[in-house]
Amino acid sequence: MTLSQQRLHDRHDWWRGATLYQIYPRSFLDANGDGTGDLNGITERLDHVASLGVDAIWLSPFFTSPMDDFGYDVADYRDVDPMFGTLDDFRALVERAHGLGLRVIIDQVLSHSSDQHAWFQESRQDRTNARADWYVWADPRPDGNPPNNWMAAFGGRAWTFDARRQQYYLHNFLPSQPDLNFHHPEVQQAQLDNLCFWLDLGVDGFRFDVVNYYFHDPALTDNPPMPRERVQPGNPQSYQFQKHNIEQPENLAYLERIRALLDEYPGATTVGEIAGNDQLPTMAAYTQGESRLHMAYTFDLLGSTGDATELHDVLARYRELGEDTWPCWALSNHDVERSATSWGEERALLALTVLCSLRGSLCLYQGEELGLPEAELAYEDLQDPFGINLWPEVKGRDGCRTPMVWEDAPNGGFCLEGLAPWLPVFERHRPLAVARQDAMTDSLLARVRRLLALRGGTLLLRQGEQTLIDHANLPDGVFGVLRHDGEQRLLCLAHLGQATSDRVKIDLDALIPGADGGSSLALPGMATPLREGRQLIMEPGQAAWLHIV
């Protein structure tokens, strides 16, 4: 019996505390010899993913697309782009993943389509066709300027003039990514129907791209300026607070329609990407209760530097938003600098150890288990329009999207030697290849496998409650949480000070009065902290998980 056949008999909340593994299809493995990763390449390497002990894979877009934004500009929501394969290849991938006990979550880019989508091609013909209002169209101002001041994420105005309709259309991203008009009931239903198509093919859930971007203010009110201290001078959009182009109240009602649909497929789940100005409150609102998203993530930890105070402050803000929510925490993905660089390469394992201590679900990005640092690319090698448009102040996202390294070979085993991969393989990645680390019993990869097995086998970590320890009660540079479920308690600490920091002594009585620190869990790659009576001694870069009785 396959995993999908067993789904009705499984725990439907499998996602709660699960670990997801993000795959960027272009960069995972090239199986057809064209220098670009594909679905068959993913299927070929699913054994590696399953060996990590994760619960599910999340696939970034593989749909039909002109690839102006590498698949986040969808031209057909129900088909596979030929560069990635066919629908039959996708069916084979799902079957193989399920056979390995992996669930399959796929991206959905509902807020906008490609300008090559048949819907937009019809909509732009005139103002009276059947899909004339399926996108956000607006008349010019009397002086010919766009209808308001909204800016696009990749630079420039969020409006492009179309001579045929003599109107502007909205695009929060590239001009070739027009925004759909979710105030139109038919648009809402059309996207729900597209979700049904993939659910019926056996997928186990969706990751929703910019899930807070579906609705806009129909009055097209100007956005207010951003306080100067929050402006990123290299990014024009950061000069304004995105108040009216995203995060409208109607979004919540639509999320409830999505959840109602997913509830018809027991065990299917949702994870939303929250982007924008004040992300944590939105994440909390979008995952609150049992009628909206199952889980969501923000950029608050993505790209974090591993500073104890910064980490504490993010979790403290989230705690204030209520416990009736469920986060999906990640340190890396396809949009941000890799965590081995932002935290420091020598702290790659420490970063994942801290991540595994947190209440919520987790997401690892391909190569994070290898400790891959951010790749350094020349301008002429860039593919990402974000980086090309805003270079050199913003270098774009190609540095985290370079090919996965499977072997210490010229192309890293990603594609055949002699081929030019779509992005160059970073030379510093090659010694960290899967084959080399598989051959070592104490490699970072081996330690990550043991770490994920420890978390996966500890119900307290997967689903227990969490109390954040006030950083005023800890030495400088130390971060901590107490995970608990009834009488069971686990104290998770990490000394996040730099290598030059001093060792610290932590008074366990001060943290948990009257409690006795019991046995320490053996953390992969971490020396067990020394104990002096009721004091715990920690070195910089060390973590400790202690049972409290």
**Residues classed as catalytic:** 209, 264
Q: What are phi and psi of 368, to 5 degrees?
A: -65, -30
- Give me the residues paired with residue 20 across strands: 56, 363
Tokens for 425?
A: 């393989």
Contacts of 504-508 with C-beta under 8 Å, sequence gap 24+, read 504/475, 504/476, 504/477, 504/478, 504/537, 504/538, 505/475, 505/532, 505/535, 505/536, 505/537, 506/474, 506/475, 506/478, 506/535, 506/536, 506/537, 506/538, 507/534, 507/535, 508/534, 508/535, 508/536, 508/546
Cα 376 to Cα 302, 384, 396, 412, 416: the distances in Å are 19, 14, 11, 16, 22
Residue with tokens 């993530």: 297
- Give me the residues paired with residue 208 across strands: 108, 272
C-alpha 272: how far from chain center: 9
Q: Is 339 within 8 Å of 348 (Cβ atoms)?
A: yes
Q: What share of the chain is helix, strand, coil (3-state, %, to 5)?
A: 30, 20, 50
How many degrees, rounded to 5, is the angle at CA 461 between CA 456 and CA 464?
130
C-alpha 11: how far from chain center: 24
Amino acid identity at 15: W
Q: Is 506 within 8 Å of 493 (Cβ atoms)?
A: yes
Q: Is 119 within 8 Å of 134 (Cβ atoms)?
A: yes
Q: Is 452 within 8 Å of 525 (Cβ atoms)?
A: no
- Give me the residues paired with residue 106 across strands: 59, 206
| DSSP state at residue 336 | S
> What's the CA gap between 483 and 185, in Å, rounded?
44
Write down how long the chain is: 549
Q: Is 431 within 8 Å of 408 (Cβ atoms)?
A: yes
> What's the CA gap between 282 and 12, in Å, rounded?
25
> What's the CA gap between 254 and 182, in Å, rounded?
9
